[in-house]
Amino acid sequence: MSAQRSDDSWQLKAACRGPQAAVFFPPPQFERKDDKIFRESRAKEICTSCSVKSECLDYAISIREPHGIWGGLNELERKQLLTQRAG
């Protein structure tokens, strides 16, 4: 077991668990820009009240997660955060 996977119990406390989890990732079919903005905004709204938001973001950053909303940030926002931390 790797160090980053040693304590993933935070996932059990995540506000995104359950049926609303679908809004955190793009659908398998084409998604219009306005639909994406609405979906991501709904996901980020759920993140605002999540007690493990920082753990979630740290996890996504550590594994370089390329998809979805994690810790309140989308893919591009996470890349920008990584760039800021590196610079």
Boundaries of every domain in the chain? 52-87
pLDDT, one tens digit per residue, over 35-84 is: 999 999 999 999 999 999 999 999 999 999 999 999 999 999 999 999 99
| pTM for this predicted structure | 0.85
Q: What span, in angstroms and rounded, lies between the C-alpha atoms of 35 and 38?
A: 5
Beta carbons of 15 and 50 less than 8 angstroms apart: yes
